[in-house]
């Protein structure tokens, strides 16, 4: 699984560490843009194998990714 996150998110380092811990066998990539304009600055968002996901909090995003 390929997980892409935006570098513009205010807590990008925390999000990246939690994703790597939750999904150690998958690729977590920090990109300059994942085409989710304006959402990425305010809340955790990710693009997982082409599917765009958003959540209000980091644990919620991890749960959504886990359901895929």
Q: pLDDT at position 68, please?
A: 84
Q: pLDDT at position 20, please?
A: 95
The residue among 27, 34, 66, 26 whose CA lies nearest residue 50 is 34
Domain boundaries, the chain: 2-67
Q: Tens digits of per-residue pLDDT, 4-62?
A: 999 999 999 999 999 999 999 999 999 998 988 888 888 999 999 989 999 999 999 99
Query: Strand order in 51-54's β-sheet?
Result: 27-31, 2-6, 45-48, 51-54
* HEC readout, 5-25: EECCCCCHHHHHHHHHHHCCC
């Amino acid at each position: 699984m390929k997980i892409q996150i935006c570098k513009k998110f205010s807590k990008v380092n925390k999000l990246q560490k939690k994703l790597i811990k939750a999904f150690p066998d998958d690729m977590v990539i920090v990109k300059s843009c994942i085409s989710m304009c304006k959402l990425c600055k305010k809340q955790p968002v990710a693009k997982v194998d082409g599917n765009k996901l958003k959540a209000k909090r980091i644990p919620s995003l991890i749960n959504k990714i886990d359901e895929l």
